[in-house]
Chains A and B, each alone.
Chain A
């Protein structure tokens, strides 16, 4: 699956990184606790979260993840978007809630890590 597929499945808006939508996605993690995300290992993964602070971008950076999706219409501020841009990440925003967003991606074939 590519980021473009993820965007379509979630009806998501692209906030940053439209040029990277052809990147491959191999796993996903949904959490508002960044340490739980940091315990997870998966290459080419994406993060779904309702948390909007700069540590979300740092967590994604440390994990070599490719994309963060802010769920239930959460709006990241300009600093967060700028940080994502500098790191070559894609940022999506969807109105779906966490459980549904994860379920939709799971249904589309995406799996969590271990």
Chain B
């Protein structure tokens, strides 16, 4: 059986005040579908961190969310600069965000580690100058 629901979102570049709208929408859709609250929260937090990253670092992009009975799969694709050293970027506290982003409450170097922490699977594909695609799965 393959009753999969797919949603796609455009994440606009440099519009910090709207960052998180896609995650908020996914969260309410999952709630409506009766998804267990714990899984809803995991998806919401991981996707929100990713969405913020796309706005801060990567000139926006697209997010595709596939909801199936067993899992929620999120694919975040950006056209940003790419991540030069993924292992370093995964370290808690490591950040390349400028001070102006820190003043907005982000750039503590917890984004990618949080995404990993709240998902069952996370895969990063990145190419310098081309962009980054992050695929995350939360099992239901």
Are A and B co-members of a single complex?
yes
Q: Which residue of B lies closest to A36 (CB)?
A: B108
Contact of A34 among B24, B27, B37, B106 (CB under 8 A): B106
Judged by a CB distance under 8 angstroms, whether A51 is at the interface is yes
Q: Does B65 contact A (CB under 8 A)?
A: no
Distance between A84 CB and nearest chain B CB, rounded to angstroms: 13
Interface string of A38-55 (1 = CB under 8 A from B): 110000000001010111
The 9 closest A-B pairs by CB, nearest first: A35-B110, A58-B20, A34-B105, A33-B108, A62-B44, A35-B108, A51-B105, A62-B48, A62-B45
> 15 interchain pairs (CB within 8 A)?
A33-B102, A33-B105, A34-B106, A35-B49, A35-B105, A35-B108, A35-B111, A54-B17, A54-B20, A55-B52, A55-B105, A58-B19, A62-B27, A62-B48, A64-B37
Q: Are B49 and A55 in contact (CB under 8 A)?
A: no
A1 to B106, CA, bound (A): 30
Give, as a whole number of angstroms, the nearest-CB distance from B110 to chain A: 4
Q: How far is the CA of A47 from the CA of B114 in the complex (A)?
A: 18
Q: Is the CB of B114 within 8 A of A38?
A: yes
Q: Range of interface residues on chain A?
A: 20 to 34
The smallest C-beta distance from A23 to any residue of chain B, in angstroms, reads 16
- In the bound assembly, the distance between CA atoms of A55 and B117 in angstroms comes to 20
Using CB atoms, name the residue of chain A closest to B18.
Answer: A54
Number of contacts between A and B (CB, 8 Å)? 68
Q: Is the interface of A mostly helix, strand, loop or mixed?
A: helix
B137 at the interface (CB under 8 A from A): no
**Which A28-81 residues sit within 8 Å CB-CB of chain B?**
32-36, 38-39, 49, 51, 53-56, 58-59, 61-64, 79
Against B, the Cβ 8 Å flags (1 = close, 0 = not) of A66-106 are 00000000000001000000000000000000000000000
B110 touches A36 (CB 8 A): yes
Cα distance, A64 to B107, chains bound together (Å) = 22
- Smallest distance from the beta carbon of A32 to chain B beta carbons, Å? 6
Q: Shortest distance in angstroms between B68's beta carbon and chain A's nearest beta carbon?
A: 22
Q: State which of B17, B45, B49, B108 has its C-beta within 8 Å of the C-beta of A53.
A: B17
Nearest chain A CB to B43 CB, angstrom units: 9
Contact of B45 among A38, A49, A51, A79 (CB under 8 A): A38
A53 to B102 CA separation, bound complex (whole angstroms): 12
Additional pairs, 5, CB under 8 Å, beyond known A36-B110, A39-B110: A35-B110, A38-B48, A51-B104, A51-B105, A61-B27
